[in-house]
Amino acid sequence: MKKIQSLTVFILILCTACRQSKNQEKVNIWKTEETNKPKELLTAIERQKQIAEENRIDSLRFEMALQDAFKIAKPAFKSDRFKKEYELQPDDSSFSIKMELLVDHLFDDDKKYFLIRRHAPWGPLVTYINLYEIIDGKTKKIIEREQYGYIRDTIFDVNGDNYKDFLVHWYPAVGCCRRNIYNVYLNQPEKGKFTTDYEFINPTFSAKEKIIRGIEYGHPGEAELYKYKWNGLKVDTIEFIYPDFETKNRFIKTKRNTSRFDKEGIVLKAVPKEYHSIESYDWFLGF
């Protein structure tokens, strides 16, 4: 009888051990799957494909919006001036595209231009800018730009050659410090085109002097002043002015953009008055 009982106990212990071994085996298999993470890798790849497809579809929508702009404005190409603002909602989309159309003598009284702005509804604001010259009812592409952080575009003579230029003002979405960016397209009417763009940060333009003054990127009281001059289609560097961090109300003027701790240059006891009226001068002073 005792032998039977002992045998029964042995079988029960053996069964329990087997169950524990199988459970342990299942746990080990599960951990292996988590370590390899094939599903997560696959999900990342699928997500990349999804984003690429969404971008492709959005690109088609904005191309459709461009075609719609031409369809609306083309009858007005013979007019002296045409302006229209409206919202276009693609049939397959839940968002609408803000459209701005302008036909006018924007840069020259003897030439007509067609300007299109397509504003995306998401942030940071993305704007597609297309500028064309209208010649005998047809269009010649002048400028095409996709701009994130768009604020505005404007037209005035930047370099003092008495020709109106095209500027795009925008503001980056990330960064610690003041960063008003302007991209400048110089008008070259004798060639029937505009230059590629020049980029300036926090600039103040003086067309009369052919000068650009401004302040570089940096924290208040630490960023340097700069001064450039137009030389035809070139931009010459005139000077940089840095605060002297060891002596209050003293500054260092140099010919090169250098470390603010570099003491090579001319010592100034005050900032020249020509800089006092520029935009962002208060940032240079540390306000």
- Same domain, yes or no: 118 and 165: no
Is 17 domain-assigned? no
Query: How many domains does the chain fold into?
Result: 2
CA-CA distance, 47 to 22, in Å (whole number)? 37
Alpha carbon distances (Å) from 232 to 27, 65, 158, 210: 74, 38, 12, 10
- pLDDT of 267-281, one tens digit each? 999 999 999 999 999
pTM of the model: 0.80
Is 32 domain-assigned? no
Mean pLDDT for all residues in the chain: 84
> Residue 260 has what pLDDT?
56
- pLDDT of 1-58, one tens digit each? 444 444 444 444 444 544 444 444 433 333 344 445 554 566 777 777 766 766 677 7
Is 15 domain-assigned? no
Helices (H), the chain: 2-36, 38-73, 281-285
- Which of 57-71, 150-164, 258-272 is predicted with the least confidence, judged by mean pLDDT? 258-272
Burial of 55 (C-beta count, 10 Å sphere; 0-12/13-18/19+): exposed
- Same domain, yes or no: 247 and 268: yes
Q: Is the pLDDT of residue 68 over 90?
A: yes
Q: Which amino acid is at 4?
A: I
Is 4 domain-assigned? no
- Same domain, yes or no: 189 and 140: no
Is 133 domain-assigned? yes
> Residue 30 has what pLDDT?
34
Structure tokens at 43: 């999900």
Q: Which domain holds residue 62?
A: 42-148
Q: Is the pLDDT of residue 97 over 70?
A: yes
Is 101 domain-assigned? yes
Beta strands in 120-233 (DSSP E): 126-135, 138-148, 150-156, 165-170, 181-185, 187-188, 193-194, 198-201, 203-206, 211-215, 225-231
